[in-house]
Amino acid sequence: MDDILVQALIQGLLIGATYGFIALGLGIIYSVSGVINFSHGDFVTLGMFLCYSLWSALALDPYVSILITLPVFIVIGAALYRYLIQPIVGVHMLMIIQLTLGVSFILQNGLLMIFGGQPLRTPSAFEAKLLFVTDSVILRLTLVVAFVVSLVLACVLYWMLNRTDFGRSVRAIHQNPRAAALMGINVVAVRTITFAAGFGILAIAAGVLLPGTPAHPGMGLRYTVITLMVIILGGMTNFFGIILGGFLIGVSEAIGTVYVSGITGMMMPYAIFVLVLLFRPQGILRRAS
Amino acid sequence: MRSGAFRFLGNPVFWLVLAAAATMPLWLSPYYLGVATIALFYVGLALSWNIVAGIAGQLSLGHSVFMGIGGLLSSALLLKLGINMWLGMAIAAAISAVLGAFIAWLDFRFRLSHLSFALITLAFAEMGQLAAVGSEFLGGASGLFLPADHGSLLDFEFGGQRGYFYLLFTASMVCLVANLVILNTPLGYYLRAMRDNENAAQAIGVALLRNKIIAMMISAVLTSIMGTAYARYSGFVDPYQFASPNVSVEVVLFATIGGLGTVLGPLVGAGFLVVFGEIVRGQFGGTLPGLHFFIDGVLIIVVILLMPRGVVPTFVEWWDRRHAAAPKDPGMIAEVPTKT
């Protein structure tokens, strides 16, 4: 294999792990409450801008800022569910989509009003460091950090879902919320906690993605679309399916950018998405978790 | 129920408002006439989106693609191949119709849920914008400038502010009439039956695929025509203005705040919010860009939590209750989505 392909594959896998990780947050929220958050990507942007503010005010490295943004996002996630989404759960699916689209507009334009429309860069300790795998295959260290953090936390999440009481109650609610409530599980509390956890994931993902990525208020919708494609590819609630979907989108994006010129290359993940959807509408892995 | 449209059309208030709107070019300043023209454009978009989303209950986030085809393709055909814009508008509308039929077929073939449909159409919208940015023919990222307007009707030139006001006025009225006609013909009943319970509708013999395709095609064609009209009015087209998924989201917010599934809801929602937004933008655009969208975002959350059916149906219901003797007007408060 030539070096460019190897480079593209590795880069795609690295970024794909983070996509998968962000999508897992959306996936567990969906599996317990049937809610898809269309402002998911805008919260990634919000996390990035929080890190940027912490850097410009206190000169904190984005990796350190996660310690501050994580609790903030957990509170935001819980509050969003309790005060905005829970009152309309079960009324109509479309309402939740429209409401979260409204949240997306608020975030996007709120950030635009505060920070303006210029892309902002946040420096970090590892930003300029490169890893040489071979002589011609070079990786940015920040991507490797994002990859490792995403995979480790995905493993923690998997362990939590399968081995702890909280994880069992999450799976019980996914299978049958009513029966779970009858077994003494506090459904509302579990849903609130999963929302908080899903948003915590976003805070971490925003922090590890930020070094090397210019942040712009309008980029949230793109993250939302990528995340949505990943979880559809993964079959909505299948843990490994979502991780695999992340890799698939990440790799197709990297290969598209390298081999197909310019913007047309950026369409590669979408083309793959439509093709997979046409031939395997149930997602890339059939079995549900 | 069947008389809904006719009562709507027979209502003197409706004709008074329409007449007042039609005389706007005579008494509005050029700036506010421009605002009114933009408002009419969004009214048309919201009404044509309402056919698919409100009446048929499929929340499409991909309508920016149809608008992009209408605006970008017809302009590119004129500039690159010298095709008359009337013909360009028809070609763009035909392509939009085919694409709309394909999306409706996808929805039927895979029995997409509301959620998957929204997700997939959003992916289409994102893909459409990328395709437009990447296409040299459609002007790419830098966009296309349309030739100067000489007021020649045969070349799709309407000669200045007033002409375009009437163009968009007519186009949005066509969308309004399309909504009224659909609501009051069998198609409207099929679509609402499918929206409320797809399986039950199929069981009593409603042809799902056929009706889905028809609704989506009508909506796509109208959206595409609005796109062409607005492209000629603004004189400059680019993918960020015409094919951005944000346009779809704006239309969703306007129509939902007004009241989805009704005729007056999207009309009042888009009309009022665009005028309001343009005024806010005129006042604060320099210091607080995006303030009007921020306010729209807050409004939709408030509306969904407090009056989930939208402002117009809630207001009409309140009005009816106050004037209990007055009969309800079914054309105005037609069905609104309740439960899936």
Is B305 in the A-facing interface, judged by CB distances under 8 Å? yes
Please answer yes or no on whether B337 and A92 come within 8 Å at the CB atom: yes
B-chain CB neighbours of A222 within 8 Å are: 126
**Residues comprising chain A, all counted:** 289
Could you give the 3-state DSSP secondary structure of residue A139?
Answer: strand
Tell me if B215 is assigned to some domain.
yes
Q: Give me the pLDDT at residue B26, please.
A: 84
Q: Give me the pLDDT at residue A236, please.
A: 79
Predicted confidence band of residue B91 (pLDDT cuts 50, 70, 90): very high
The full DSSP string for A83-121 is IIIGGGTTT-HHHHHHHHHHHHHHHHHHHHHHH-SS-B-
Non-local (6+) Cβ contacts of B269 within 8 A are B46, B254, B255, B256, B257, B258, B259, B310, B311, B312
The list of chain A residues with pLDDT below 50 reads 288-289
CA distances to A58, A154, A239, B289, B290 from A115, rounded to whole Å, are: 17, 32, 36, 10, 11
Is A79 in the B-facing interface, judged by CB distances under 8 Å? no
Q: Give me the pLDDT at residue A194, please.
A: 93
Tell me if B8 is assigned to some domain.
yes
Q: Which residue of B has its CA nearest to A34?
A: B115
Is B291 in the A-facing interface, judged by CB distances under 8 Å? yes
> Which pLDDT tens digit goes with each residue over B132-148?
988 888 888 888 998 88
CA distance B276 to B291: 11
Please answer yes or no on whether B300 and A99 come within 8 Å at the CB atom: yes
Tell me if B230 is assigned to some domain.
yes
Contact B59, B117 (CB under 8 A): yes
Alpha-carbon torsion angle B125, B129, B255, B103, nearest 10: -30
CA distance A264 to A245: 21
Out of A275-284, B25-34, B61-70, B234-243, pick the least confident. A275-284
The pTM is what? 0.87
A-B CB pairs within 8 A amount to 134
Question: Of residues B34 and B116, which shows the higher confidence score?
Answer: B34
Q: Give me the pLDDT at residue B60, please.
A: 92
Looking at every residue in chain B, the average pLDDT score rounds to 87
The number of CA neighbours under 13 Å toward the Cβ of B32 is 8
- Which of B49, B116, B126 best probes binding to A when mutated, by most A CB atoms within 10 angstroms? B126
CA distance B139 to B78: 12
For residue A132, the cross-strand partners are A138
- Measured in degrees and rounded to the nearest 5, phi and psi for residue A140 equal -80, 135
Tell me if B330 is assigned to some domain.
no
State how far Cα A156 lies from the chain centre.
16
Non-local (6+) Cβ contacts of B61 within 8 A are B118, B121, B122, B125, B245, B248, B249, B252
Q: What is the DSSP letter of B158?
A: -
Among candidates A84, A109, A262 on the partner chain, residue whose Cβ is nearest the Cβ of B301: A84
Taking residue B141's Cβ as centre, other Cβ atoms within 10 Å add up to: 13
Contact B165, B316 (CB under 8 A): no
CA atoms B303, B309, B310, B312: torsion sign: negative
- Which of A46, A97, A107, A118 best probes binding to B when mutated, by most B CB atoms within 10 angstroms? A97
CA distance B273 to B279: 10
State how far Cα B8 lies from the chain centre.
20
| Closest C-alpha to B173, from B10, B7, B13, B21 | B21
The full DSSP string for A260-277 is S-HHHHHTHHHHHHHHHH
Please answer yes or no on whether B252 and A277 come within 8 Å at the CB atom: no
Contact B49, B261 (CB under 8 A): no
Q: How many domains does chain B have?
A: 1
Could you give the 3-state DSSP secondary structure of residue A140?
Answer: strand
What b-and-e string marks burial along B198-221, b requiring 16 or more CB atoms within 10 Å of the CB?
Answer: beebeeeebebeebbbbbbbbbbb
Please answer yes or no on whether B290 and A108 come within 8 Å at the CB atom: yes
CA distance B174 to A45: 40
CA atoms A16, A18, A19, A20: torsion sign: positive
Predicted confidence band of residue B340 (pLDDT cuts 50, 70, 90): very low
| Closest C-alpha to A235, from A12, A27, A11 | A27
Please answer yes or no on whether A277 and B120 come within 8 Å at the CB atom: yes
Tell me if B337 is assigned to some domain.
no
Predicted confidence band of residue B70 (pLDDT cuts 50, 70, 90): very high
**For position B218, which CATH number holds?**
1.10.3470
In chain A, which residue ranges form alpha helices assigned H by DSSP?
3-33, 40-58, 62-79, 93-115, 141-163, 165-175, 177-182, 187-209, 220-233, 239-259, 262-266, 268-279
CA distances to A147, A154, A199, A271, A288 from A247, rounded to whole Å, are: 11, 13, 21, 15, 19
Q: Give me the pLDDT at residue A47, please.
A: 94
Q: What is the mean pLDDT of residues B168-190?
A: 92
**Token couple for A150:** 């995403």
Tell me if B136 is assigned to some domain.
yes
**Token couple for A18:** 């983070």
Widest CA span of chain B, in angstroms?
A: 62
Q: Give me the pLDDT at residue B289, please.
A: 82
Q: Give me the pLDDT at residue A83, please.
A: 92
Predicted confidence band of residue B4 (pLDDT cuts 50, 70, 90): low
Tell me if B331 is assigned to some domain.
no
Tell me if B86 is assigned to some domain.
yes
CA distance B33 to B327: 36
Whole domain around residue B61: which residue ranges? 4-322
> Which pLDDT tens digit goes with each residue over A191-219?
999 999 999 999 999 999 888 788 888 88
CA distance A118 to A95: 33
CA distance B253 to B297: 8
Is B288 in the A-facing interface, judged by CB distances under 8 Å? yes
Q: What is the mean pLDDT of residues B266-287?
A: 88
Do the bridges between strand B236-237 and strand A138-140 make them parallel or antiparallel, or are there none, so unpaired? Answer: unpaired
CA distances to A10, A149, A197 from A133, rounded to whole Å, are: 10, 19, 35
Which region, left, alpha or beta, applies to residue B205 given φ > 0 means left and ψ of -120 to 50 means alpha? left
Q: Which residue of B has its CA nearest to A268?
A: B127
| Closest C-alpha to B262, from B9, B47, B43, B3 | B47
B 86-145 residues inside an 8 A Cβ radius of A: 110, 113-116, 118-120, 122-123, 126-127, 130-131, 133-134, 141
> Which pLDDT tens digit goes with each residue over B286-322?
788 889 899 999 999 999 998 888 888 888 888 888 8
**Token couple for B317:** 């219901």
